Structure 1
Amino acid sequence: MCVIICIAFFVVAPAGAFTADSLNITVAANGDATASFRFTLDGVIENAIPLSLLQDQLVKGLATSSDPPQVISFDKSEATLLLKNFAVTNDVPTWTEYRTAPMDFKKAQIALENSAVSTVISADFSPKIISVTFPDGYSSQLTGSSVLPSITHTVIDPTKAAASAMNASATGALEINSSPEIVRVYIDGTYAGESPGPFTGIMPGGHEVMLEADGYLTLTKTVMVNASETTTLSEVLDAAATPTRKANAPDAGAVFFAVALAGCGVAARRRK
């Protein structure tokens, strides 16, 4: 009787367990990531379950993009995977923003539970410790979570920042003080915006600056701009002259009226 109960126990109850211990994800500069997934196999599962089956379920459960994870190495305690496009990158001149994909460990657990070995395995795919490390060494950690949420992190690129600072120091700026206050500014024939500015990123040297405003005469000046300095240009635009009649010139309306009167006089004499 005891033998029958024991046999029934091994048939019905799981003979071993899969327990996730830790997941360490290292994000590369291009957004790909390497994941080190450590786990423990207890009981007869350690020798009974084919590693290929466990590997397949783990790959399915940890997929975060249309590209399935690539297995780098796999044994009875640790799997190393390449996660393509794990993080979306956004590059700007001085830094890169990384936004990682979320990961639901229940997917791997459900996949294993729906497999052929579900009757002999009890699985817990939620790592006790999760860490995500970015290219600058910053690391975000979670404990006891069944879901890894999306993480956004900004990585400052020292090389880009230094180059940007060097470029900024190699140029100058121009600020316009004018009357009227708002004028259209052209630098070397190219429209740069409206005053007062400042207008930045101007290479050192002489530049032709043209100021325009409706109702005013256009003014053009040659201005010297120095690196790492702001040059101020203060100018008053002359009002455009309004058209005037010459002093002795007859008014067009008066001429027309005189012609009309003359015509009426001629007609009157003919009637007589």
Structure 2
Amino acid sequence: MRSTVLITILLIISLALPAAAFSADRFTLTIEENGDAEIQFDYTLTWIERVAVYLRIAEPEKELKHALERNYNRPVEIKEVTSGSVQFTVDRLAQTRYTHEGTVYTVPVLDFSSAVTALENYWFAPLVKVDLAPEIATVTFPDNTTEEFGNVTIIPELVHTIK
């Protein structure tokens, strides 16, 4: 009952305010030798979004987990969630191939726009402007070679060979 009253009050207040913005700050993907991936996604939430997350009305980490599992057909484990970040492990995100030139790692296209679709299903969607293009997106391979992207919603397929 209390949470219903609080939600109603927040909804009324938020209707009087301009749209808030969820913004992606940094996306870091680290590929392990076996192709597993460690992902850290840092973001900024407005006070409306923080309240929704605190009350468990919105669970962005679960939406991102489901989007990753659906898009890449791989098990995803949530490692840690804070008010400004989420960490995941994705089993065998990168395909590994052994050739005479070395180990070839292929990271699939990473598309953040599917998470926007999931977020649009929440009641507060009309109140929020979602920016899922991280200011900086970094992909690091086992030999510490990195690829960096700025303000993109899609990271292209990456192929890297380690001799």
Q: Give the TM-score of the pair, scaled to structure 1.
A: 0.50
Aligned partner (choices 59, 65, 72) of residue 59 of structure 1:
65
Q: What is residue 7 of structure 2 aligned with on the other side?
A: none
Question: Are 1:101 and 2:105 matched, yes or no?
Answer: no
Q: 1:51 Cα shift? A: 7.4
Q: What is residue 153 of structure 2 aligned with on the other side?
A: 146
Q: What is residue 70 of structure 1 aligned with on the other side?
A: 77
Question: Are 1:25 and 2:29 matched, yes or no?
Answer: yes
Unaligned runs of 5+ in 1: 1-6, 157-272
User: 1:54 is matched by which residue type in structure 2?
Assistant: P
Q: Which of 1 and 2 has higher RCO (CA within 8 Å, sep 6+)?
A: 2
Please give the per-residue CA displacement for 1:146-181, whole angstroms capped at 9, x wherever unaligned. Answer: 10111000011xxxxxxxxxxxxxxxxxxxxxxxxx
Name the SS of the counterpart of 2:72 in structure 1: coil
Name the SS of the counterpart of 2:14 in structure 1: helix
User: Separation in 1 of the partners of 2:81 and 2:96?
Assistant: 29
User: Separation in 2 of the partners of 1:110 and 1:14?
Assistant: 21
User: Separation in 2 of the partners of 1:30 and 1:76?
Assistant: 30
User: Separation in 2 of the partners of 1:141 and 1:90?
Assistant: 23
Structure 1: 4+ residue segments shifted above 4 A:
12-15
User: Separation in 1 of the partners of 2:62 and 2:40?
Assistant: 16
User: Separation in 1 of the partners of 2:18 and 2:125?
Assistant: 8
Q: What is residue 43 of structure 1 aligned with on the other side?
A: 47
| 8 A Cα contact 2:25 2:42, kept in partner | yes
User: Separation in 2 of the partners of 1:53 and 1:149?
Assistant: 27
User: Separation in 1 of the partners of 2:57 and 2:14?
Assistant: 21
Q: What is residue 117 of structure 2 aligned with on the other side?
A: 110
Q: What is residue 8 of structure 2 aligned with on the other side?
A: none
Greater C-alpha Rg: 1
| 8 A Cα contact 1:27 1:135, kept in partner | yes
Q: What is residue 125 of structure 1 aligned with on the other side?
A: 132
Q: 1:13 Cα shift? A: 6.0
Name the SS of the counterpart of 2:74 in structure 1: coil
The 1:14/1:34 distance shift into structure 2, 3 A limit, reads farther
Q: 1:82 Cα shift? A: 0.6
Question: Are 1:89 and 2:96 matched, yes or no?
Answer: yes
Alignment length (residue pairs)? 150
The 1:56/1:12 distance shift into structure 2, 3 A limit, reads farther
Q: What is residue 5 of structure 2 aligned with on the other side?
A: none
Question: Are 1:135 and 2:142 matched, yes or no?
Answer: yes
Name the SS of the counterpart of 1:44 in structure 2: helix
User: 2:49 is matched by which residue type in structure 1?
Assistant: I
Q: 1:128 Cα shift? A: 1.1
| 8 A Cα contact 1:36 1:81, kept in partner | yes
User: 1:148 is matched by which residue type in structure 2?
Assistant: I
Name the SS of the counterpart of 2:46 in structure 1: strand
Deviates more, 1:72-81 or 1:48-57: 48-57
User: Separation in 2 of the partners of 1:112 and 1:134?
Assistant: 30
Q: 1:93 Cα shift? A: 4.8
